[in-house]
Amino acid sequence: MLLEKKRIPSPHQRIDLFEITYLSAGLQVKGYLATPLNKGKLPGLLYLRGGIKNVGMVRVQRVIQWASEGFVVIAPFYRGNRGGEGQEDFAGEDREDAFKAYDLLYESEEVQHNQIHALGFSRGGVMALLTALKRPSLASCVLWNGVTDMFLTYEERIDLRRMMKRVIGGTPNKYPERYQERSPIPELKQSAVPILTIHGMLDEHVSIEHSYRLENALHGHVQSWYYPHFSHHFPLKDQQRILTEAANWMKKQTSSPQK
């Protein structure tokens, strides 16, 4: 599935950084791969960005942050971005881009197969949950200010409604099934993948209600870290501290290395 692996300048002397091209449902999709210099196998991390198109695009700084915690990181741009083929559809068919990126980590000789994790930020939250459903050997799933319910996103984000109607293909009232398939909470009751949700309670982009709904539906299956004074983007020092704590939590989770 890996078609191209092109080395690009890395801001960290102990981390190799690449732009990769891989196949997802027949489409060429691009993303970042960050590999710490290490002699042994490392945990893998699937970093799932938020936003759509250039809004919320993956930043090298964020990929390097996670790789600095000792993960081999793949961060898809999603289809149609940065020269990739196809078009994003907001956790519709583009979810395959996350699944296939997981498979790349699973097939890598540098990655521990029972230590592959997904981290979804903002819209990436629902992508991470969908990955937990389709790849049950995921060791853990972490949502950081993550979307869990697309009906709620449509209700809350008036500024996104035009985009959502265009990309998803209508409103929740007219096509509820299209929003339901992007809202995986009911199906997650059958999942054994450990879930951690990190959320700023002042978040105006993805409300804390997204995490509450996930937590309430799964009845104790979710571990929640809530921060009453933070919004969508955490202060830099706090963000780094919490990121390290989340990385340590992930590394304590393991899974059966079978798809």
Known catalytic residue at 232: yes
The owner of tokens 């950084």 is 17
Q: Could you tell me which residues are beta bridge partners of residue 46?
A: 74, 118
Q: Which residue of the set 24, 122, 183, 255 is catalytic?
A: 122
Nearest 5°: the CA angle 143, 149, 151 is 155
At 43, the amino acid letter reads P
Instruction: Supply the Cα-derived Rg of the chain in whole angstroms.
Output: 17
Q: Which residue of the set 137, 191, 221, 232 is catalytic?
A: 232
Residues in the chain: 259
Task: Please return the burial class of 223, using the count of CB atoms within 10 Å of its CB with bins 0-12, 13-18 and 19+.
Answer: middle
3 state SS of 3: strand
* Start-to-end C-alpha separation, the chain: 16
Known catalytic residue at 68: no
Give DSSP secondary structure letters for 175-202: -HHHHHTT--HHHHTT----EEEEEETT
By annotation, the residues acting in catalysis are 122, 232
